Amino acid sequence: MIMNHRRIQLYDTTLRDGAQTAGIHFSAEDKKRIAHQLAEFGMDWIEGGWPGASPTDSQFFELMRSRSWSHSRLVAFGSTARSTQNIDKDKGLTALIQSGADACCIFGKSWDLHVTTGLGITLEENIQLVQASITLLKQHMPTVMFDAEHFFDGYAANAEYAMQVLAAAVAGGADTLILCDTNGGSLPNQISDCVQEVIKQYPHISIGIHAHNDSEMAVANSIAAICSGASHIQGTINGIGERCGNANLISLIPTLCLKLHMDCGIEPEQLKQLKSLSSFVNEMANRLPWQHQPFVGQNAFAHKGGIHVSAIRKESSLYEHINPAFVGNEQRVLVSNQAGRSNILAKLQQLDPDSNISSDDPIITEFVQRIKAMEANGYAFEGADASFQLLLRKALGQFKRHFKLVSFRVLDEKRGHLETPESEATVQVRVNGELLHTAALGNGPVNAMDKALRAALSGVYPTLESMRLTDFKVRVLSTKEATQAAVRVLIESSDGIRKWSTVGVSEDMLEATYHALNDAIEYKLVIDNIPPDDTL
């Protein structure tokens, strides 16, 4: 049963559990920047790491002593003491107390197999460690949470003992009991049954869920726990974490707010920052964004099939489960060999909202056929929207060139087996009736051509000085033809504010590159409203 009146606590563990992702390394300064972004978004709890476990985490907590958050609270993570003897001198607990955090969260074993095999102690000793550790921490910190590690596996194996561990945490003064699906192998019905039993036992204590994604169930399991009465949810931005990751807060937050209508303390304007928060953490983690990520991915609200596009032009909810703007995303209409008139008209509407051109206009019919023919020859416009917009402008008679290529030549020279190759490009273009001739060196033929072309034009069009090539992809279209095969070049460009993608196709890679570069430059000049060359 869903209880919408509950306030759901959002607990982010990106800086600790997320940092355990293979291939991700956060510096102390990285963690500080991410923490401030999380606080600005409105997370209730931000777990910073394990003070004393590494120099990075210790440095991070020192950096955070000067924080001034209006809402979010910093959490230090750790474990129960190693021994009940001299527990007040346990280094791990002391580090938590001295961390400067607003709260702490410690984990303890709740699966009897882990106690006897992993820790090598008796079941009673483990219970004493849990209670004594929390008792000590509560003397020094206002909020202490207990992560019952492996709780669902432990409950399945020995429910009585798993509940005894929770009882020890409650006796010690724990403010929140977090039930952990540490191995990520539980299913939603198991989570739901278990959470309900715990809530029956402890109706007045906050119950939380910490789910891992090893069975692709972390989000579903977290929702199951919340729908069964839990009021505290833990996860990471973009679902990063050890092995297969953690519950993805980027999916959980809009699900809780928009679908279950629960109070997470996140206002609509904050929710609109979800996509930018996802992108920021990806940048800090040096990860490419997942284009198909639910809610915030580039393709989360992208429509390719003509029937779909026709439908969303009438009513977006026919093929969209929410308004993409609610999470800071936007609807995209893709153009491909599956496109129809609806796709073209939708793009035209974006390009010219005042256009009254109809679907049966011969211009649209001819343009659809041209796009399909070009895609049959290797073009891919769904990943090159800028090239598509230029083609559409040309079809509508709304485009004039800013320059004309006279010639280009690229030399790539390598001297000696171990020497680095040298690339030089020479470009001749005609602008305003004048022939411009420029050469440039680059770290490869593509870079040399890019630099030469922009160097030739930037004197006439200074706006190009801010433009940079940010990504370059080459795809061989037919491996059967080996080195004679056509290639498709996709280029992403940026001026520091906007990004756009263009495409070129040819049996010659440099010619394909030139076409993509040409479109990139022309598009930049178009969106900057630079007048075209009337002499061409």
**pLDDT above 70 covers what percent of the chain?**
92
For the stretch 244-266, pLDDT in tens is 999 999 999 999 999 999 999 99
CB distance 32 to 63 below 8 Å: yes
The string over 111-133, giving b where at least 16 C-beta atoms fall within 10 Å of a residue's C-beta and e elsewhere, is: bbebbeeeeeeeeeebbbbbbbb
Structure tokens at 254: 């809009």
What is the chain's mean pLDDT, rounded? 90
Kindly tell me if the per-residue pLDDT of 424 is higher than 50: yes
Q: In terms of Cα–Cα distance, which of 93, 113, 87, 85 is closest to 50? A: 93
For the stretch 375-416, pLDDT in tens is 778 887 767 889 988 988 888 888 899 999 999 999 988 888
Which DSSP category does 421 fall into?
P
What are the strands of the beta sheet with 487-494, ordered from one edge? Answer: 468-476, 487-494, 499-506
pTM above 0.75, yes or no: no
pLDDT recorded at residue 340: 57
Which DSSP category does 298 fall into?
T
For residue 2, what pLDDT band results from cuts at 50, 70 and 90?
very low
Give the whole-angstrom CA distance, residue 280 versus residue 292.
17
Provide CB contacts within 8 A for 69, sequence distance 6+.
Answer: 39
CB distance 153 to 182 below 8 Å: yes
Q: Angle CA(355)–CA(357)–CA(358) in degrees, nearest 5?
A: 140
Give backbone dihedrals phi and psi of 3, rounded to 5 degrees, phi first.
Answer: -110, 95
Q: Rounded to 10 degrees, what is the CA torsion of 233, 236, 239, 243?
A: -100
CB distance 200 to 169 below 8 Å: no
**pLDDT above 90 covers what percent of the chain?**
67
Element (H, E) at 40: helix 28-41
Q: 9-20+29-284: which CATH architecture?
A: Alpha-Beta Barrel (3.20)
Mean pLDDT of 359-385: 77
Which DSSP category does 187 fall into?
-
Sequence ranges of the chain with CATH classification 3.20.20.70:
9-20+29-284
Cβ atoms within 10 Å, residue 418:
6
Half-sphere exposure of 205 (CA within 13 A, CB side): 26
Q: In terms of Cα–Cα distance, which of 386, 397, 314 is closest to 361? A: 397
Structure tokens at 313: 């032009």
Kindly indicate whether the domain formed by 404-527 is annotated with CATH number 3.30.160.270: yes
Mean pLDDT of 197-219: 97
Give the whole-angstrom CA distance, residue 497 versus residue 96.
42
For the stretch 19-32, pLDDT in tens is 999 999 999 999 99
Give the whole-angstrom CA distance, residue 335 versus residue 125.
65
Structure tokens at 227: 């729908």
Q: Which residue carries 């504010």 as its tokens?
A: 497
Mean pLDDT of 489-505: 90
Give backbone dihedrals phi and psi of 243, rounded to 5 degrees, phi first.
Answer: 60, -110
| Lowest-pLDDT range of 140-149, 277-286, 515-524 | 277-286
